[in-house]
Amino acid sequence: MGRDTRRTRLLLAILLAATFTLVTIDYRTGRAGSGARGAAQSVFGPVETAASAVVRPVGRTASSLTHPNRYHDRADRLAQQNAQLRRQLASNAAVTQEAAQLSALRLIADRGQYTIAPARVTSVGDVTGTDWTVTINAGRADGIKADELVLNEAGLVGTVVTVSATSSTVRLICDPDSHIGARLEKTHLLGAIAGGNGPNSLSFTLYDASFQVRKGDRLVTFGSLDYAAGVPIGVVTKVLDSGSGLSRTAEVTPYVNVGTLDTVGIIVARPARDPGDRVLPPLPVPAPKKPATRAPVAPTATGPATTGPATGGPTATGPATGGPLAPGGTR
């Protein structure tokens, strides 16, 4: 027992002396890769690398076992960051879309010289077919009054029916109780637009049966004490009767898609003059017609005409045929 203790102490003293010597040499030389330290590093370096390769995965596994929430917390932080980025992208897209809608709404208001108050649809009423209404976030505080027309960048949306301080209810043009004065483009013939046929179809009644409604005719509001004139409504897609009655009716497809309403404008002041048809969207330009092409004609052979007895042309002359006299008057 005592001998082992003396050997242990002697070995410890030798190791301490060697450590002190290596530290002193390294400090004086100032180079990690030279001298005795470099030799020791070259000997023990591979052993250290191998030991690290073996021990590191074990250490990581032990760390994950002793601190299980560390990686879960990191995953939660990454998920929160991703969700925040997605919200920012969605918000940017919504702002861009709203800006585009407001710009298009401003263009249609400028063409008709309308004074509008912008608003957004905040809720949709009962759309079962008996009550087509929406609620917008503008009311009396924004200058909104009942019976004013509501439009978007495509055309007529409906009319204001009730107003509160900060919101209003809009009856859509497809509502069965919606009846708005309309006129045909160019001819200025008057009639009325009514809903009740679903979101994608309106009924137009022309007051004077002595005139005709044609497929493709376009309609705008004709204006009154309550309504602004010239707001685009839609296009006639089908004439329903033969004109034998006191009026003519037709089906009209509205310009506005009521299923995608978002940003709208309320016409709070009408223009001094009727804008006519200039608020209507431009008609599509027809494609140019291709010139008709003719099949190539095969060329015919041409050359000097041949004559002879068979064709009644001049024939060769000579003695046998009584040709011209030879010199001296003999034949």
Name the DSSP letter for residue 34.
S
Which range has the worst mean pLDDT, 41-45, 103-107, 185-189, 273-277? 41-45
State residue 267's pLDDT score: 96
Mean pLDDT on 89-100: 78
Residue 307, token pair as written in the block:
């004559």
Average pLDDT over every residue of 64-88: 71
Sign of CA dihedral 74, 75, 76, 80: positive
Residues in the chain: 331
pLDDT category of residue 314 using cuts at 50, 70 and 90 = very low
Residue predicted with more confidence, 164 or 66: 164
Share of the chain above pLDDT 70, in %: 66
Q: pLDDT (tens digit, 9 = 90+) per residue, 141-189?
A: 999 999 999 999 999 999 999 999 999 999 999 999 999 999 999 888 9
Best CA proximity match to 204, nearest among 250, 246, 240: 250
Q: What is the pLDDT of residue 240?
A: 84
Name the burial class of residue 35, with classes exposed (0-12), middle (13-18) and buried (19+) by CB atoms within 10 angstroms of its CB: middle
- What are the extents of the domains in the chain? 2-66, 115-269
The yes-or-no verdict on residue 49 having pLDDT over 90 is no
49: left (phi over 0), alpha (psi -120 to 50) or beta: alpha
In whole numbers, what is the pLDDT of the chain averaged over residues? 78
| Share above pLDDT 90 across residues of the chain, in percent, rounded to a whole number | 39
Kindly indicate the confidence band of residue 317, based on its pLDDT and cuts at 50, 70 and 90.
Answer: very low
Looking at residue 208, its pLDDT comes to 86
* Contact (Cβ atoms closer than 8 angstroms) between residue 260 and residue 219: no
pLDDT in tens, 264-274: 999 999 898 99
Instruction: Please give the DSSP secondary-structure letter assigned to residue 300.
Output: P
Decide if pLDDT at 253 tops 90: yes
pLDDT tens for 229-243 read: 999 999 999 988 655
Q: What per-residue confidence (pLDDT) applies to 235? A: 96
Q: CA 173, 174, 179, 181: dihedral to nearest 10 degrees?
A: 50
**For 48, which DSSP code?**
H
> Cβ(170)–Cβ(150) under 8 Å?
yes
Whose CA is closest to 117, among 226, 266, 271, 269?
266
Sign, CA dihedral 205-209-215-221, equals negative
The pLDDT score that the predictor gives to residue 291 is 73
User: One-letter amino acid identity for 180?
Assistant: I
* CATH level 2 (architecture), domain 115-269: Beta Barrel (2.40)
